[in-house]
């Protein structure tokens, strides 16, 4: 029997339990590419899966972890051969398909993106799903027609993973960025990533008005709920918000006023089932549009054994920036 270390989630009588275990390679699920995982990362969804705070995991036992970067070990897929460096984000990894917190993963070759030449496997996971989603949000705002000349962009949950990467990318592209955060003590950190203004979370809290004073040309929101509703009410005529998250709640207590009176657009962002060409475009953009020194400054590294602690911290909104998990 060949085994490898993995963070395995089991169903228990009272819920679920995550623990490091030796996983038998024979129990890996079907797939045409086997990957030696080098790095993974901790996203909000990973926190939910490990703590069991939301029903992210759809199959038990499950290896947690929604994305990895590593090297192809074996492949029967025409696009991939042993030695290729690859990234996988989403596609149900860690939810319906055995995931990334393991020394080995067997997956569908169609899910993989080639690691851009200028990005290491570690940096790819410092970016991770959170960073690649931030890039998808920026691309959506650009597609809507927003440019630095349109006006400032608000980023909610700015000190978190999606938020930190979004601030860094937008500032590199020349946008003026308002970083909204519930952690004012992170103001210097957010300014070092390129935020031109720090806005207290409270400015976007409370019962949203249908329309408030027009403040931002656009927004990137990873919080949802009243935060997103307030943000929409403050977007300038013709602007747009790319919404990707629910760290503050799944609801949206908004009115249609921003849409029908200011032509504001709400752009939905999904990274999990996002088609391959858009993923490849996002990763290409990340190679050029994300300052690697800023990425390093927002990232810390942990080992597999520290996952439960960091998972609890991320769902409590206490993780700053990005966390990479060294595996191989
Ligand atoms: P993080 O925990 O790193 O960031 C979330 C941030 O939101 C926190 O750091 C905090 O920022 C803010 N926040 C947390 N709780 C609250 C609250 N109750 N009210 C207001 N703000 C709050 O998570 P990620 O960046 O990894 O993910 C962010 C969100 O995006 C998650 O909901 C995640 O599921 C979603 N997501 C969605 C994807 C998709 O495909 N649509 C892909 C990736 C992520 P601060 O302290 O600065 O206020």
The closest alpha carbon to 242, from 226, 219, 259, belongs to: 219
Q: Is the pLDDT of residue 238 over 90?
A: yes
Q: What is the pLDDT of residue 265?
A: 98
Q: What's the order of all strands across the beta sheet hosting 62-63?
A: 16-24, 3-11, 62-63
Distance, CA of 212 to CA of 314 (rounded, Å):
31
282 DSSP 8-state letter = H
The alpha carbon of 314 and the centre of ligand 1 are apart by a number of angstroms equal to 8
Tokens 């203004």 appear where? 197
Choose the residue to mutate in 91, 136, 157, 227 for probing ligand 1, maximizing ligand atoms within 8 Å of C-beta.
157
The alpha carbon of 121 and the centre of ligand 1 are apart by a number of angstroms equal to 24
Cα–Cα–Cα angle for 84, 88, 93, nearest 5°? 135
Q: Which CATH architecture has domain 129-268?
A: 3-Layer(aba) Sandwich (3.40)
* Torsion over CA: 180, 184, 189, 192 (sign): positive
The alpha carbon of 248 and the centre of ligand 1 are apart by a number of angstroms equal to 7
The alpha carbon of 96 and the centre of ligand 1 are apart by a number of angstroms equal to 22
Ligand 1 atom 33, closest CA = 245
Q: What is the pLDDT of residue 300?
A: 97
The alpha carbon of 17 and the centre of ligand 1 are apart by a number of angstroms equal to 23
Q: Is the peptide bond before 61 cis (omega within 30 degrees of 0)?
A: yes
The closest alpha carbon to 253, from 219, 223, 229, 221, belongs to: 229
* Mean pLDDT, residues 3-15: 94
Ligand 1 atom 29, closest CA = 245
Ligand 1 atom 1, closest CA = 160
Distance, CA of 65 to CA of 325 (rounded, Å):
10
Provide the token pair at 67. Answer: 């994305």
Q: What is the pLDDT of residue 130?
A: 96
Neighbours of 202 (CB within 10 A): 10
The alpha carbon of 125 and the centre of ligand 1 are apart by a number of angstroms equal to 17
**What are the start-end ranges of the H helices in 113-256?**
121-144, 161-172, 187-193, 225-233
The alpha carbon of 4 and the centre of ligand 1 are apart by a number of angstroms equal to 31
Percent of the chain with pLDDT over 70: 100
Which pLDDT band holds residue 193 (cuts at 50, 70, 90)?
Answer: very high
Q: What is the pLDDT of residue 1?
A: 78
Nearest-atom number in ligand 1 for the CA of 318 is: 9
Which pLDDT band holds residue 328 (cuts at 50, 70, 90)?
Answer: confident
Per-residue pLDDT of 22-68, as tens digits, reads 999 999 999 999 999 999 999 999 999 999 999 999 999 999 999 99
Nearest-atom number in ligand 1 for the CA of 269 is: 41
Per-residue pLDDT of 201-235, as tens digits, reads 999 999 999 999 999 999 999 999 999 999 999 99
Per-residue pLDDT of 287-324, as tens digits, reads 999 999 999 999 999 999 999 999 999 999 999 999 99
The alpha carbon of 209 and the centre of ligand 1 are apart by a number of angstroms equal to 23
Q: What is the pLDDT of residue 227?
A: 98
Nearest-atom number in ligand 1 for the CA of 42 is: 26
Q: pTM for this structure?
A: 0.97
Q: Which CATH architecture has domain 3-115+298-326?
A: Alpha-Beta Complex (3.90)
3-state SS, residue 141: helix
Pairing assessment for the beta strands 235-243 and 216-221 based on DSSP bridges: parallel
When the pLDDT of each residue in the chain is averaged and rounded to a whole number, the result is: 97
The alpha carbon of 29 and the centre of ligand 1 are apart by a number of angstroms equal to 30
Ligand 1 atom 44, closest CA = 130
Ligand 1 atom 22, closest CA = 248
Q: What are the boundaries of each domain within the chain?
A: 3-115+298-326, 129-268
Which residues neighbour 137 within 8 Å (Cβ) at sequence distance 6 or greater? Answer: 162, 166, 220, 242, 244, 267, 269
- As for ligand 1, residues whose beta carbon falls within 6 Å of it are 43-45, 129-130, 133, 157-163, 181-183, 201, 222-223, 227, 244-248, 269-272, 314, 317, 319
3-state SS, residue 182: coil
């Amino acid at each position: 029997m060949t085994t490898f270390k993995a963070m395995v989630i089991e169903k228990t009588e009272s819920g679920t339990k995550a623990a490091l275990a030796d996983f038998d390679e024979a129990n890996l699920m079907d797939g045409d590419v086997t990957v030696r995982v080098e790095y993974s990362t901790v996203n909000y969804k990973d926190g939910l899966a490990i703590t069991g705070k939301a029903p992210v995991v759809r199959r038990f036992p499950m290896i947690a972890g929604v994305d990895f970067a590593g090297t192809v070990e074996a492949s029967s897929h025409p696009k991939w051969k042993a030695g290729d460096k690859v990234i996988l984000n989403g596609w149900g990894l860690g939810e319906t398909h055995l995931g990334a917190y393991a020394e080995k993963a067997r997956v569908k070759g169609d899910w993989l993106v080639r690691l851009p030449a200028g990005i290491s496997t570690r940096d790819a996971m410092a970016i991770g799903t959170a960073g690649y989603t931030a890039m998808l949000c920026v691309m959506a705002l650009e597609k809507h027609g927003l440019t630095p000349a349109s006006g400032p962009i608000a980023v909610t949950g700015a000190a978190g993973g999606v938020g930190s990467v979004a601030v860094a990318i937008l500032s590199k592209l020349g946008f003026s960025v308002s970083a909204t955060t519930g952690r004012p003590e992170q103001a210097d950190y957010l300014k070092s990533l390129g935020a031109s203004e720090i806005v207290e979370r409270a400015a976007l809290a409370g019962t949203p008005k249908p329309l408030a004073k027009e403040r931002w040309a656009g927004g990137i929101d990873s919080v949802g709920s009243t935060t997103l509703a307030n943000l929409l009410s403050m977007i300038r005529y013709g602007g747009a918000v790319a919404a990707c998250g629910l760290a503050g709640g799944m609801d949206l207590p908004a009115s249609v006023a921003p849409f029908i009176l200011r032509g504001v657009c709400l752009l939905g962002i999904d990274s999990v089932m996002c088609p391959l060409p858009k993923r490849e475009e996002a990763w290409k953009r990340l190679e050029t549009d994300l300052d690697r020194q800023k990425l390093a400054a927002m990232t810390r590294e942990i080992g597999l054994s520290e996952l439960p602690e960091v998972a609890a911290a991320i769902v409590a909104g206490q993780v700053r920036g990005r966390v990479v998990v060294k595996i191989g």
